[in-house]
Amino acid sequence: MKIPYYISVAATGLSLVLSVVLFIFGGMDQGLQADIQKQQQEVQKQQEQINKGNAISNDIGPKLLRDMAVVSIKDEKMKELLAKHGYTVATPSPTPASPAPGGAAAPASSPAPAPAPASAPPAASSTPAATPAVRPR
């Protein structure tokens, strides 16, 4: 008669031990989840910084390369620097002036355009022939 009593006491004790173990592992799991969330937030912040850097790079990079190409026409060191990093500068060939309609020749010298004020943005209608083409190798 005492055998069922011992079996029920043993089952109760085992249940108590297993519930304590489950409680401990649950607490450890919550701690790990908090650590993972912190790491995910850090990765998200880093990704936002990378995206901002890419946006700036895509905006400024081509403009900087174009300006460096313009300088490299007169500065051999700049041309060597661009070549060292894999860029070739194709200098534009000057196009001959077309004769004026009506057979009259165009004047030999035309007045130079006035420089734009420093606060004004560069003119969008600049001649593309004056800007050298920069191409990666």
Transcribe 46-61 into DSSP letters: HHHHHHHHHHHHHHHH
The share of the chain scoring above pLDDT 90, in percent, equals: 36
Label residue 114 by pLDDT band (50, 70, 90): very low
pLDDT band for 47, please (50, 70, 90 cuts).
Answer: very high
Instruction: Tell which residue, 121, 120, 117, has the closest CA to residue 63.
Output: 121
What phi and psi values does residue 88 have, to the nearest 5 degrees?
Answer: -110, 145
Residue 112 pLDDT exceeds 80: no
101 three-state secondary structure: coil
Least confident of 33-37, 56-60, 103-107, 112-116: 112-116
Tell me, what's the pLDDT at 128?
A: 45
- How far is Cα 92 from Cα 70, in angstroms, rounded to an integer? 10
Taking the model in full, what pTM does it have? 0.44
State which amino acid sits at residue 136.
Answer: P
CA-based radius of gyration for the chain: 37
Q: Which of 15-19, 47-51, 76-80, 113-117 has the lowest mean pLDDT?
A: 113-117
> What does DSSP assign to residue 85?
T
pLDDT of residue 1: 65
Residue 85's pLDDT band (cuts 50, 70, 90): confident
Beta-bridged to residue 89, according to DSSP, are 134
